[in-house]
Amino acid sequence: MSNHYVRKAYTFLKKSGVTISGVWIDCGCGRGYYSRALTLLGAALVIGIDIRMRSLNYPIVACRSDCSHLPVKNCSVSGFLYVNVLHYYKKPQPLLQEAHRVLKKNGYIIVIEYDQSAPTGWDPYPLQLTHIEALLSMVHFDVVTNVLVDKKYRPKHLVVGKKTILNDL
């Protein structure tokens, strides 16, 4: 695993201001760079979920699944991470509802998405900051942080939401 990418992920996650602990889900984990960064920041366990699963290292549990139907109990995880995932879905709201379902009260969701408005081959449904915040709000997350990261390469919005309502949607 490339230390460069793990360090970059670590730096971005530190900017979220979230204290990482407990069980976290990294949905769309890819090669696991952010999963590894979550463990370095204090997650007791990270569940890496991806449709095209690659092998990941302990203490990361790899699970081949779709992020819209997670094999996880209600209100059972401390944190949830989507990095460059939501822009692949024309309607990302069901994915955020699924994150809300599995998060404990006062759990955090971190969303990182490219800062662009025009669709591309790798970003078919771009999400601007206001759209990310509106989606999180519609699914009953309080937006607590938004910051621009990776300014030199491809700027990305990092948005943090906190679950304060227990009811499932």
What are the structural domains, with CATH classification, of the chain?
A: 3-163 (3.40.50.150)
Highest mean pLDDT among 12-16, 50-54, 113-117, 162-166: 12-16
Q: What is the pLDDT of residue 58?
A: 60
Rounded to whole angstroms, the Cα distance separating 160 from 17 reads: 9
Lowest mean pLDDT among 39-48, 54-63, 64-73, 138-147: 54-63
Q: What is the pLDDT of residue 57?
A: 63
User: How many other β-carbons are positioned within 10 Å of the β-carbon of residue 55?
Assistant: 9
As given in the structure block, the two tokens for residue 41 are 């920041």
Which residues, listed in sequence order, are joined to residue 146 by a DSSP beta bridge?
A: 159
Q: What is the pTM of this model?
A: 0.94
Rounded to whole angstroms, the Cα distance separating 130 from 117 reads: 11
Per residue in 86-141, pLDDT (tens digit) is 999 999 999 999 999 999 999 999 999 999 999 998 899 999 999 999 999 999 99
Rounded to whole angstroms, the Cα distance separating 46 from 72 reads: 13
